[in-house]
Amino acid sequence: MKWEKYSYVTMKGKGNEIRKLQIVKCQTPPGQLFRHLMALMETFPAHQLRASWQNEAYKDICSNLPANHAVCVHDYSKNYRCSDKKEIQSSYFQRNEVSIHVSIIKRHRTAEDDTPENIITEQFFVISYDLKHDRHFTSFVQKCIASYLQSLNLDVKVMHEFCDGCSAQYKSRNCMGDVSCNSLGYDTLIRNYHETSHAKGPQDAAGGIIKRLADTAVLRGKTTIQNAEDFYNFANDSLEIPKSGIYHKRIFRYIKEIPRIEINDAEYKPVKENLKIHQIVSNTSRPSILLTRNISCYRCVQCVHGATDTCGIADEIGGPRLQTMLARNDCIVHENDVVAVYTADPTCEYYILKVTRSPTILETNKSDSWGNTFAKGTHACSRRVVLQQEQ
């Protein structure tokens, strides 16, 4: 039989070999085709259950949002590539890109809101030159949203977040560690992860719409967008009020560069069975401790109000597990420790050093005796050579 399947293939990339998932043509006996299909079907029912369950969890909390609660759906939109109606040839190959982070906010109405609806839905965009979509960018977005809600005099006690399972942005051990710190002013922060490949939603459409409107305005000669600041000015002036009746308004924030030095950059210990986790809960009463669950629950009163540790249907779907998120120092040495440093010197392979002071954070750029320069914010420690180990 001739058939096709998706499989990883090793191919040559730029300077090295890479593994890429692509369609591979096969010609085998029928039995091998059915064995491959049966292997795929072993994990499919559980995958489909989690996908449906997580989507229903989002609908449940949005339709029964308690007072002093809010919901956020986070996602990064594909970078916007700046263009010009009359551009030279080199500009086509060297276009500036703009980072766009999209959040859909559902909150309760305030006295200043001119709408009869009790639950208001808004689009929140953070626009930046910074193209590194990492945990620090995500933390900055969270702080912007918390500041915006405070400006509305909303006393949000519990924040429910929904996002995909991208490791670099939302689900790595360091991302989870940032959630455990819960420094945003909420009593409880709950982050829910959609099942793999099932996180598409209104946040994707929101990012696509503003990029399409920007392209249309450029083609019609109504504006010129050459960088992130131009994109922000156009969006903030022209796109604040959406034409759809679903959303109350769009909020735009502009940041030239993410202040990574000022954001928590601690390294946290690995989380067991990270890929299976679909909900994490942080509470100010339990600093640096997370409750983790394999699936989210918004079908009992306790979980709807943020008391996940007393879930009413834990016997059916499994209860939460405690995870201590202890931060690891960037420099894992301490005062009076003796460490070996590789020298790459053919006559002396290692230096044995003794740490004379606990690590500190540099407040300015500094250079050491060997001409090495260290940037502001780097963890550094004093040391002295106590023994030279010959090769």
pLDDT band at 357 (very low <50, low <70, confident <90, very high): confident
Element (H, E) at 322: strand 321-324
> pLDDT higher for 272 or 39?
39
| Confidence at residue 39, expressed as pLDDT on a 0 to 100 scale | 93
Please report which residue ranges of 201-336 form alpha helices under DSSP H.
202-219, 228-238, 301-304, 314-317
Cα–Cα distance for residue pair 151/61, rounded to 1 Å: 24
- Report in angstroms the alpha-carbon separations of 33 from 4, 8, 21, 30, 297: 9, 17, 19, 5, 38
Q: Quick one: average pLDDT of 4-14?
A: 87
Length of the chain: 391
Pairing mode, strands 17-27 and 119-128: unpaired
- Report in angstroms the alpha-carbon separations of 57 from 50, 156, 275: 10, 20, 19
Cα–Cα distance for residue pair 237/225, rounded to 1 Å: 13
pLDDT band at 377 (very low <50, low <70, confident <90, very high): low
Q: Quick one: average pLDDT of 19-39?
A: 93
| Confidence at residue 93, expressed as pLDDT on a 0 to 100 scale | 80
pLDDT at position 253 over 60: yes
pLDDT band at 389 (very low <50, low <70, confident <90, very high): very low
pLDDT band at 286 (very low <50, low <70, confident <90, very high): confident
| Confidence at residue 330, expressed as pLDDT on a 0 to 100 scale | 47
- Indicate whether this model's pTM tops 0.85: no
pLDDT at position 300 over 70: yes
Say which DSSP state 201 is in. Answer: S
| Confidence at residue 371, expressed as pLDDT on a 0 to 100 scale | 66
